[in-house]
């Protein structure tokens, strides 16, 4: 009798342990799925913010490049009324600014989102290039 009670107790204990561990595994799987879902939602939000930031920067850059094109047009008009000596030196400078402005426009158009770190580097470098070009425009317009 003692042996049968001991066997029965052992079987009940093992069965209980198995049932408890099955529920825990199911609960763990549910927890992992909900955590994955939350992570994906967070990543979607970050991706949307990232894409919006890129689009905003492209719009601002496009506006700045268009403004530079207008400045170039104005400089070319001023050069039409300038003396020959003035034209010779400044036409090359205006052509160079026009070329650089076109390169920046193309650089921005071909940029593909490759991750936030690369975006930060691109944005910093591009900002420096735009600032340098702005300074060159200011110097040239001050001379004319």
Q: How do residues 47-68 score in pLDDT, each as one tens digit?
A: 788 888 989 999 999 999 999 9
Residue 129 has pLDDT above 90, yes or no: yes
Angstrom distance (rounded) from CA 21 to CA 19: 5
Angstrom distance (rounded) from CA 94 to CA 73: 9
For residue 123, what are the contacts with CB-CB under 8 A and spacing of at least 6? Answer: 57
Give residue 60's pLDDT. 92
Give residue 102's pLDDT. 93
If phi > 0 it is left, if psi is from -120 to 50 it is alpha, else beta; for residue 115 that is left
- Give the structural domain span for 43: 2-143
What separation in angstroms does the CA of 132 have from each of 10, 56, 97, 104, 123? 81, 21, 11, 11, 14
Q: Which has more pLDDT, 20 or 98?
A: 98
Task: Please report which confidence band the pLDDT of residue 69 belongs to, taking 50, 70 and 90 as the band edges.
Answer: very high
Domain count across the chain: 1
């Amino acid at each position: 009798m003692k042996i049968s009670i001991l066997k029965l107790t052992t079987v009940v204990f093992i069965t209980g342990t198995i049932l408890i561990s099955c529920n825990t595994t199911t609960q763990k799987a549910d927890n992992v799925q909900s955590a994955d879902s939350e992570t994906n939602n967070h990543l979607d939000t970050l991706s949307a913010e990232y894409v919006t930031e890129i689009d905003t920067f492209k719009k601002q850059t496009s506006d700045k490049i268009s403004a530079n094109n207008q400045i170039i047009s104005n400089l070319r008009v001023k050069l039409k009324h300038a003396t020959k000596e003035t034209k010779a030196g400044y036409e090359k400078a205006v052509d160079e600014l026009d070329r650089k402005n076109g390169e920046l426009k193309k650089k921005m158009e071909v940029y593909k989102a490759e991750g936030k770190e690369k975006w930060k580097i691109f944005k910093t470098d591009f900002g420096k290039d735009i600032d340098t070009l702005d300074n060159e425009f200011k110097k040239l317009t001050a001379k004319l």
